[in-house]
Structure 1
Amino acid sequence: MSRVPAHKLITSICLGRYFMVVGRGRYNPYLEQERLRAAAARRQAAEIRAREVQERRNARLREQAHLQDRSREVDEKNQEVADELHALANLLADGVASARPLDFESLKAEPKLPPFDPQGQARAWPEPTWEQFQPKPSGFFAHLLPGAGDRVKATTLAARQTFEAKHTEWVGREKARQAWLIHAKGAYEAECSRIKEETALLNADVDAFSGAYKAGQVEALNQYFELVLERDELPDGFPTTVRLAYVKESRQLVVERQLPLVAVVPTVTAYRHVKASDSIVATTRPALQIREIYVSTVSQLALRTLNLLFGADASGAVDSVVLNCFVDTISPETGQRVTPCLLTVRTTRDILVAHDLRKVDPIACLRHLNAEVSPKPHELKAVRPIVNFNMVDPRFVEKPNILGQLDQRPNLAVLTPTEFEGLITNLFEKMGLETRLTQASRDGGVDCVAWDMRPIVGGKVIVQAKRYKHTVGVSAVRDLYGTVLNEGAAKGILVTTSGYGTASFQFAENKPLQLIAGGELLYLLDQHSGVKAKIEFPEEWTDPRPDLVEADVPTIVVQPPAERVSTEAPTTAS
């Protein structure tokens, strides 16, 4: 058998494969391209599907992130509401925890000295030296050239002149720098001395203020308690307006403090996210709940103020506090600015200390203190203040020169008994009462019977006036109450040119008695009669019948059986 050449074998194999392909059909290049296009379309479709899947995944992630953002926003809003409610609910507790006397040292200042700024003149400029200007030595071959020595001398001379000019310039600049520095340091030390002197004067004023407060000076006491209330850290949205006046005769502090409006109570109970509309919806707080929270807030602020004032009174100058709480707003009925009093209360230190304000119900506690609280404070229903702040003017006793033009005003202290009787009678007639004079009392005042002609609320009124220089004792209040009972009168009014003590106010509490002090008398005369009067007693004045002052309350001393019981008051200097 003959062998087949290799090249023929390879050719037959290739032709066999070709004919095998042709046997199944002719080769179509367009069909191959179509297959390639189909494969590319499938890849593109797969890529599109992958992108769509990724987009849906990203959309879900974005939606989840948006929902989380909305959830955080809702949580933040709800936390703000919770914080506001917590501040209102703990208004009294926080105030009790922070109540303390005013630290006078905290009012002092440390001198804040600015740093000295030399403005770049603290360091001297570098002093020029000869080595910086000295010419470099000539080389060996330079010395061999003609005139080399003359050139060296000329170069050295020029360098020396330049050096001396630069050094002279440096000396002048250094002298100017040192002179400026001396002047700047002098001005700085003068400024520091001025700041230290101003600080020392301020601290001296604080020391003087502290001494005046401890001495019981009225103006210092007023300023002290104003600072105490100004430093009271109240929640956001609470006003800080206060007015106060210290009445030395009765050791009573009369305070007006502005209340927040009902808008301080959050009107939203909670926030929630509505996924369907992608909105945050607020749940409105019921009107009844808003009113309850507002009444509680007002009550807590009143008790907080009372506790703060008594707690800050380190010198014990205040025996009682009258607090009037008001709001400053626009009346929805008239559109005019109104300041109705929504709460008024008077209490003493001993009574308030007997209450644990951390555990009391604020509304019940005020009711126990016989406070007058507006039945509808959200509707601005006012109550009558126990003491009208405009009636309190203790300055006419302490500093009569403050009132100005005293020589043009009638002095009630020098009126005759008849003139004083006519003044009181005319005053109450101007106030709408029908008056009848009785026989003048032996203390220089007048007993007056008046009638309030209003139905139901009116009736017979017993008016007694005492033209006193010193504090009217509690015995006069007891006498008036006995007269009211004996006469069957509806009310008793005691008018004096001086003032009353704590025991008098305590006795008159919850009784049909009204005590009008000298400052209130001046106010009533001005408001109802147009008489701008003053009260100035001469130094030698003696009260017609010295009444018992607060320190003169009779004491009962238990004696052995063989001795009697003494109820006489100790003798004190008037």
Structure 2
Amino acid sequence: MSRRSAGFVNTWAEVQRAQQRQVEAERRRRREEDRLARDYERRAAQGHREYRQAEARRRTEELDARVAELQGLLAEGCRAPAFRAASLMRVAEVPPFDPGGLAWPVRMPDQNQYRPQGGAWTAGRRAQAEAEARARFEHDWYQAQAAEAQRQQQLAALQREYEQRAEAQRSEVQRYNAGVSEAAAGVGRGEPELVVEYFSTALYASGAWPDGFPRRLAAAFDPAARQLVLNWELPGYDVVPEAKAVRYIPAQDQDKETARPVTQRRALYREVLAQSVLLVLHQLFAADEHGTLDSVALNGFVDAPDPATGRQTHIFLATVMARRADFTGFRLEQVDATSCLTEALRGQLATRPDQLTAVRPGRRPEEVGGQVVTHGEGGEEPDLYAMDPIEFESLVADLFRAMGMRAVTTQRSNDGGVDVDALDPAPIRGGKIVVQVKRYRNTVPPTAVRDLYGTVQDAGANKGVLVTTSGFGPGSHTFARGKPLELIEGGALVDLLHRHGLRGRLGEGGRPAPAPAGPEGAAAAPADHNVLGLMWSGTVALDVCALVCAGNRVLSDDHFVFFNNPRTPDGSVRTVSASAPDRAAVGVSFDTLPPGADRLVLVAAVDPETNPDADLSGFTDACIRLLDASLNDLGRLDVSDGRAGETALVLGSFRRRTNGDWDFVLGGKGYTGGLEELVRDYGIEVE
């Protein structure tokens, strides 16, 4: 009994020990999991702290770098090469002649490869086989000779075309360089307008100005005193960072900025203004390769609200009159900018520029008596619509110069369709750019884009840019796609001007003016619409219709344009008279299609009254011609032929892309039940 009890106790004890081991193992597992979780959280917290601390250090380094850039503005600017008129010169970079596949002569057949074919057991059969082999050889030889003659003709034509294009490019470069040389000679003669344009270009071409520095000026030249009188915009107080450092506070998990002491910030801003004035003087005198300037009268201003009236105005913070003989002897890399300006040059600099305490400006451009040239000037945004055409072209040239390019406006005549000549100095993407300027209120017609492309080819330019105050339609964008053309609409132009320190607005609202209303309150047909003309072979008479859809559903019955409904409610799609060789046509203004529409479907159906027994087997060799508003051919889109038994056909659909452009997708689905069956697929109920 005792043994059995002992055995039972032992068994029970072993079970208990096993359970205890499991419990302890589970506890160890949980403790290990808790430890790992705590380690992970600690590492995560440490990683988060390290990341935030690194970000704080990075922001502090950026602040230090910005301050260092401002402190070294003058020294860095003096190291930049001086502007020269020769930098505007171009080199005719004519690529070598590339004949492509035409460089290789046509391979002539080898008579040894033409052997008699088949078994020739008799003399007669052998003679016949040999004659057949000679005939094959002679046929292939004459074919090769004809192909070689055609190759040589094509090669000669390609060579002539290349030589004409190369000569046109060389002539254009020579014409441009002659214009630059003549302008430089005019600067040497002291012609006021050319002098101002030349030195304005020198300031705009400089890469010494940090980001955020404005570039606006008004200037005039006094030829009697050989003095350039200039108002130049200076940076505002916010150019100096308000924060001195950034520190991460782990307990609050947030960054804390250490403010820059007011006295330090004010002193640095005053130093930046002095450096800016001296750098402008340095750039002007350094660019004066003809010795045109004896002196420069410079007034530096900021555009800000007048503390007394609250109205936006020019507040002059610095003024100086510097003579060449005095200035060129300075070693600007080593001077204290404020002392140099106020003591050595006896100029004036606001003692509290941060509070807009003004100085009395010296001689102003409007006091010279001649024409004052302004670039981005004006107390308020100038209306681009109301701007003089020549001033508008100059503003566009200023924009290209502010973007780091070399740009000059062309002469009023014999400009070859070019308003601004620009050169992008970038080694890979750069090159010659021809710019046309259209100060329009209505949409620019596609013909202007086509003309620009011809100018790009004639001038041998790398790129053509069309700048307008209005906009472009889909016909223009369709033609420009894949070509070295860039279209800049009014809104984008204003954005570019503001981004590069220049000014301009489009009318009172700052956007392109709306198109005038048509008769009886209906919307007038847009200036830039397309005509979709359909041409085909065969005698079958067809009705060509259009459906304005969202997906595969027409927007409404009124958006199904056919013989009984010739236009949509907004007039964006309408039937129009066809012009030969088209046999039917539809007018479309893609820009004014309803926002909810993402496709325009074109269909064709047999006219049941004219051809009651016909089908689409006679609908062949068809295509859609894409025309602009002046019926100029922009391109052709092939469509599927009709099939026997079918009486209606989906020709294709224009589909809106995410970027606003439209692509054509070929159709081809046919219907035996005519137009009624087709439109049911698009959600139209036919009674």
TMscore range, shorter length: 0.5 to 0.7
1:169 Cα deviation after fit: 4.0
Aligned to 1:111: 92
Aligned to 2:53: 71
**Is contact 2:230-2:364 (8 Å) kept?**
no
Query: CA 1:395/1:326 → structure 2, altered by over 3 Å: closer, same or farther?
Result: closer
1:216-255 counterparts in 2 under 5 A?
A: 216-232=190-206, 233-255=208-230
Aligned to 2:368: 392
1:234 Cα deviation after fit: 0.9
**Which residue, 351, 372, 394 being the options, matches 2:348?**
372
**Is contact 1:101-1:314 (8 Å) kept?**
no
1:210-221 counterparts in 2 under 5 A?
A: 210-221=184-195
1:234-259: per-residue Cα shift (whole Å, max 9, x none)? 11111122332221211222111111
Provide the C-alpha distance between the structure 2 equivalents of 1:235 and 1:287, rounded to a whole number of angstroms. 23
Is 1:262 aligned to 2:244, yes or no? Answer: no
**Is contact 1:239-1:259 (8 Å) kept?**
yes
Provide the C-alpha distance between the structure 1 equivalents of 2:189 and 2:101, rounded to a whole number of angstroms. 54
Amino acid in the other structure paired with 2:322: T
Aligned to 2:315: 340
**Which residue, 90, 115, 126 being the options, matches 2:72?**
90
1:393-429: per-residue Cα shift (whole Å, max 9, x none)? 3469xxxxxxxxxxxxxxxxxxxxxxxxxxxxxxxxx
1:36 Cα deviation after fit: 6.2
1:20 Cα deviation after fit: 13
1:327 Cα deviation after fit: 1.9
Aligned to 2:420: none
Using the TM superposition, name which of 251-260 and 370-379 deviates more. Answer: 370-379
Aligned to 2:253: 278
Is 1:200 aligned to 2:182, yes or no? Answer: no
1:467-489: per-residue Cα shift (whole Å, max 9, x none)? xxxxxxxxxxxxxxxxxxxxxxx
CA RMSD after TM alignment:
3.8
Provide the C-alpha distance between the structure 2 equivalents of 1:168 and 1:61, rounded to a whole number of angstroms. 83
Aligned to 1:350: 325
**Which residue, 287, 291, 298 being the options, matches 1:312?**
287
Using the TM superposition, name which of 277-286 and 230-239 deviates more. Answer: 277-286
Aligned to 1:460: none
1:529-557: per-residue Cα shift (whole Å, max 9, x none)? xxxxxxxxxxxxxxxxxxxxxxxxxxxxx
Provide the C-alpha distance between the structure 1 equivalents of 2:15 and 2:140, rounded to a whole number of angstroms. 91
1:159 Cα deviation after fit: 5.7
**Which residue, 335, 355, 359 being the options, matches 1:383?**
359
Aligned to 1:452: none
> Percent identity among equivalent residues?
30
1:108 Cα deviation after fit: 1.8
Query: CA 1:276/1:173 → structure 2, altered by over 3 Å: closer, same or farther?
Result: farther
Amino acid in the other structure paired with 1:377: P
Which has the larger share of helix?
A: 1
- Identify the structure with bigger relative contact order (alpha carbons < 8 Å, sequence gap 6+): 1
1:244-294: per-residue Cα shift (whole Å, max 9, x none)? 222121122211111111121111111111212332222233444333222
1:148 Cα deviation after fit: 7.1
Computing the radius of gyration from Cα coordinates, the structure with the larger value is 1
1:86-142: per-residue Cα shift (whole Å, max 9, x none)? 1211222223344x653333332222224545454333454444555535675xxxx
Aligned to 2:154: 180
**Is contact 1:300-1:362 (8 Å) kept?**
yes
1:30-179 counterparts in 2 under 5 A?
A: 46-47=28-29, 49-98=31-80, 101-114=82-95, 116-124=97-105, 126-130=107-111, 132=113, 134=115, 138=119, 163-179=137-153
Provide the C-alpha distance between the structure 1 equivalents of 2:211 and 2:227, rounded to a whole number of angstroms. 30
Query: CA 1:56/1:217 → structure 2, altered by over 3 Å: closer, same or farther?
Result: same
Provide the C-alpha distance between the structure 2 equivalents of 1:222 and 1:154, rounded to a whole number of angstroms. 90
Would you say how many aligned residue pairs link Structure 1 and Structure 2? 370
**Is contact 1:246-1:253 (8 Å) kept?**
yes
**Which residue, 285, 294, 299 being the options, matches 1:324?**
299
Provide the C-alpha distance between the structure 1 equivalents of 2:89 and 2:297, rounded to a whole number of angstroms. 31
Provide the C-alpha distance between the structure 1 equivalents of 2:11 and 2:244, rounded to a whole number of angstroms. 77
1:329 Cα deviation after fit: 4.2
Amino acid in the other structure paired with 2:239: V
Amino acid in the other structure paired with 1:78: T
Query: CA 1:119/1:20 → structure 2, altered by over 3 Å: closer, same or farther?
Result: farther
1:301 Cα deviation after fit: 1.0
1:302-352: per-residue Cα shift (whole Å, max 9, x none)? 122223323433443322221011123456876754222222222323343
Provide the C-alpha distance between the structure 2 equivalents of 1:125 and 1:330, rounded to a whole number of angstroms. 78
1:493-552: per-residue Cα shift (whole Å, max 9, x none)? xxxxxxxxxxxxxxxxxxxxxxxxxxxxxxxxxxxxxxxxxxxxxxxxxxxxxxxxxxxx
1:85 Cα deviation after fit: 0.7
Gaps of 5+ in 1: 1-18, 397-574
**Is contact 1:229-1:242 (8 Å) kept?**
no
Provide the C-alpha distance between the structure 1 equivalents of 2:195 and 2:36, rounded to a whole number of angstroms. 75
Using the TM superposition, name which of 353-362 and 73-82 deviates more. Answer: 353-362
1:537-552 counterparts in 2 under 5 A?
A: none
**Is contact 2:319-2:359 (8 Å) kept?**
yes
Gaps of 5+ in 2: 373-687
TM-score by length of 2: 0.47
1:140-190: per-residue Cα shift (whole Å, max 9, x none)? xxx8xxx77777667666666555554444444433333323222222222
Aligned to 2:586: none
